[in-house]
Amino acid sequence: MNKPLRNRHRVGLYCAIPALACVLLFSCADAPGSQSGRAAARLPAIDPGYSGVMIPPNIAPLNFKILEPGARYRVCIRSRNGKTIEWEGRDPSVRIPMGRWKKMLQENRGEDIFFDVAVKTADGNWVKYEPVQNRIAADSIDGYVAYRLLEPQYRFWYHMGIFQRNLENFDQTCILHNRVTGGNCMNCHNFCGNNPERMLFHMRMGAAAGTYLVADDQVTKVNLATSFNKPGAYPSWHPDGDQIAFSSNKITQFFHGKGEIRDVLDWASDLIVYHVSTNTVSTHPRIADLDRMETFPAWSADGRYLYFSSAPALTAYTTPDSVVEFDRIRYDLMRIAYDPVSGEWGELETIVRSSETGLSVLQPRPSPDGRFLLFCMAEYGSFPVYRPDADLYLMDLRTGKVSRLDINSNRSDTFHSWSRNGKWFVFASKRLDGIRGRLYFCHVDEDGNVSKPLLMPQEDPSFYSTFLKTYNVPELISGPVDVRWQKIVSAAFDQDKMKNAALDPRVRVDRITGATPHASKMKQATVE
């Protein structure tokens, strides 16, 4: 299960059958442009469109395909320091040698890197295009990213798994696939401080249902449901490693007749905090308000604030004849102070008001260095991955200034997470076809300038044109998750070892919440 799923053909400056795709090294100084050729006053068409992007100095080669018609192709990759990488062949798919690529990136941190492309046309002449220019960042990105892979169509969700990719090469391994857990749903994987040794995720449905905590190669299955709450969703691990914020949601999926047919509605939601060491769930009226729906919790870098999205209760959007006007539901971005030692909560602050933006504010993610807050805004609702209008925004936490990022597309751009140094983030976007999510990386400098999105490189330059699954919930991590899937499965089906969380005795539930299985009444929680 944990064996790497590699492409069969490795990168190299050689070919198995020289007569078909022989590679010939040439000098960049000899690139065509003489009497037998001409210069094109434009960039070459390549796929993926790796042009004007910021490149992490520790990322795998940006293999690409030249889309210009021709009988032969030449590429020279050069930067300020060290040797160039030179390639020639009949195949327009350019696979850059791993070792030489890594050496070039390390020798040229902070420098520009150029791809010189030339194509031999049918008349025997060479056309040399303008250099494709990118830049190598000085800042590294976390070496791994974890994500779900699943079918893009809702009827085939039962084929899914949580995977991880080594960003420094092309190795992908499976952390857990639902073919060994009865075809159930698994979601909401999250890590404490980008640490692969402290992970949690959920499994839904059947005997394996529960929340799974992975710490130091040990797996614990927890039932988070109490008399107050359903099992949690959308987790955020506190920096202390002992407290985890969740939302507890009662949701309904429904469908439209055209466009993006899927949609999600929260009937009710509250925030809870699970304390790992005591196996207890706590909450507070300010984060579990009778008159509000709270969701998407996210701890600040220092753990002294909890950010979350909040909207008026569903009754505010319900007409007298019981019709829910779902497209009017918009969430504010909130923040509340928290003392992680005493467990005391401060006063609520509204950071971004939906009444001012006209949009629903969702999925706040503070940067690990405490500098920025990355979040999403959509036309309405609480599930932006289904909203083509969902865009990413950046708040400068020093000044409070909010900027809509230039990286957005006319498709869903969401499910973002930070690298542990706060210099990179990853997000999932459906910009290529409007159906399948793909992973993109962006660099953020000290002034909040965000680089053009970099599509996650693949060994086969044509990979994305044939890969049908969608990438979902990417989380950057500093290394691989090493826990074996057999250990998770063993915990999943051993009911005697499951821990049932207890409600903190300081929390008094006056009325049962609509966010629990007892959905007939609303609720109010107080802390004695």
In a domain, 12, yes or no: no
Q: What is the CATH number of the domain that holds 497?
A: 2.120.10.30
Whether 194 and 112 share a structural domain: no
Report pLDDT for 136. 98
User: What digits encode the pLDDT tens for the residues 180-227?
Assistant: 998 888 899 999 999 999 999 999 888 899 999 999 889 999 999 998
Last residue of one domain, picked from the residues 136, 160, 191: 136
CATH of residue 45's domain is: 2.60.40.10
Domain contains 51? yes
Residue whose C-alpha is closest to residue 228's, from 528, 449, 519, 513: 513
Identify the domain boundary among 90, 112, 136: 136
Q: Are residues 101 and 237 in the same domain?
A: no
The pair of three-digit structure tokens given for residue 423, joined into one six-digit string: 């210099």
Please give the pLDDT value at position 254. 83
For the stretch 449-487, pLDDT in tens is 999 999 999 999 999 999 999 999 999 999 999 999 999
Instruction: Say whether both 50 and 183 belong to one domain.
Output: no
Half-sphere exposure of 37 (CA within 13 A, CB side): 15
Among 107, 136, 165, give the residue marking a domain's end. 136
Q: Does residue 231 have a cis peptide bond before it, meaning omega lies within 30 degrees of 0?
A: no
383 is a domain residue: yes
Q: Is residue 518 part of a domain?
A: no
If asked whether residues 176 and 105 sit together in one domain, one would say: no
Domain extent for 99? 18-136
How many domains, in total, are found in the chain?
2
350 with 223, same domain: the answer is: yes
CA distance 355 to 14: 60
Closest to 199 (Cα-Cα) out of 496, 476, 469 = 476
**Residue 297 belongs to what H/E stretch?**
strand 292-299
In a domain, 528, yes or no: no
Which residues fall within 8 angstroms of residue 218, CB to CB, at 6 or more apart?
A: none
For residues 104 and 57, give the distance between their C-alpha atoms in angstroms, rounded to a whole number. Answer: 9
- Please report whether residue 72 resides in a domain: yes
Residues 412 and 309 reside in one and the same domain: yes
Residues 127 and 165 in one domain: no
Residues 108 and 152 in one domain: no
Residue 352's nearest CA partner among 388, 305, 401 is 401
Are residues 92 and 178 located together in one domain of the fold?
A: no
| Strand-strand pairing, 280-282 and 502-503 | parallel
pLDDT at 220: 95
Averages of pLDDT over runs of 10 residues in the chain (528 residues) are 35 30 43 62 97 98 98 98 96 97 98 98 94 98 97 74 97 95 90 97 90 93 93 95 95 82 89 96 93 97 98 93 92 97 95 98 98 98 93 97 97 97 98 94 97 98 94 97 94 90 84 37 45
At 162, list the tokens.
Answer: 């949580």
In this prediction, residue 15 carries a pLDDT of: 31
Q: Is residue 410 part of a domain?
A: yes
